[in-house]
Structure 1
Amino acid sequence: MEGPLAIIFIFGGIPAIIIALAYFRTRRIERTALIAAGKDASIFEQLNSKPKHYLSLKYGIFMVGLAIGVLMGSVLQNYTMMNDAASYFSMVLLFGGLALVLFYMIQKKLNDE
């Protein structure tokens, strides 16, 4: 894999992995401390019982937005004198953000009904 997509995956993937590892390590430490103190672990069950009605809709719209961003980055790179990395990166961020705003508006409309 070469070019701007490799840069996007590297600069997006490495921080995501670091954040995920930190999250799971902190979660394990919290649970271990709670068990060691003899406390009830029902707080974690309450957090996981929140309804996740629109999670698949959110990720679906977001992935479609990213795909459109990659396509538009390719169009922008081919038809303008813009740098490869800048065209892909800007379009992926733009359409990914627009997808999340679209999801927010859809979710708000569904919750109001």
Structure 2
Amino acid sequence: MDATTVLVNLIIFSTLFGVVYMFLTSRNKERLALIEKGADASVFNSGKKFSFSEVIMNIALLAIGIGTGVLVGAMLEQSGLASEVAFTSSIFIFGGLGLLVSIFINKKLEKKND
């Protein structure tokens, strides 16, 4: 690995760490300020929590969408479309469709559970 690759990776990971750190510290400061003013602890409850099965289903449908996108991209490449365009567009389109399907399934399951 050359120096630019190491530098780019270092910048990316330090930026991600900085964003997460700032989010958590500012949230903590905000909560402490609310507690000092006498706010009820129920303010901190964000509401619905995701279950493990919902997360797995979302990841599975995303993976199915990406796999379908790769297959469709290969077919589009065989029909004469440039491989960069065929694969990139197909992966994003079908991956997005997989996530959209997971939203509808989650809403349906939520209504069923209520």
* Normalised TM-score (structure 2): 0.60
Bigger Rg, structure 1 or 2: 2
Label 1:56 to 1:91 Cα distance change in 2 as closer, same or farther (>3 A). same
Correspondence list, 1:4-23, <5 A: 21-23=18-20
> Cα distance, 1:32 vs. partner?
3.7
Q: Which runs of 5+ in 1 are unaligned?
A: 1-13
Which structure carries more relative contact order (alpha carbon 8 Å, separation 6+)?
Answer: 1
Unmatched runs of 5 consecutive residues or more in structure 2: 1-11
Q: Percent identity?
A: 22
Deviation beyond 4 Å, 4+ runs, structure 1: 17-21
Q: Which structure 2 residues correspond to residues 1-113 of structure 1 after superposition, within 5 A?
A: 21-32=18-29, 34-35=31-32, 37=33, 39=35, 42=41, 43-44=43-44, 46-47=45-46, 50-53=48-51, 54-77=54-77, 79-113=78-112
1:112/1:70 CA distance change after superposition, 3 Å:
same
- Count of residue pairs brought into register by the alignment: 94
Q: Deviations along 1:24-61, whole A, 9 cap, x unmatched?
A: 422323314544x4737x554x23x6321322211211
Residues 26, 74 of structure 1: alpha-carbon distance in 2 compared, 3 angstrom cutoff: same
Q: Cα RMSD between the aligned structures?
A: 3.1
Q: Structure 1 residues 80, 64: closer, same or farther in 2, change over 3 A?
A: same
TM-score (norm 1): 0.61
* CA distance in structure 2 between the aligned counterparts of 1:34 and 1:69, rounded to whole angstroms: 43
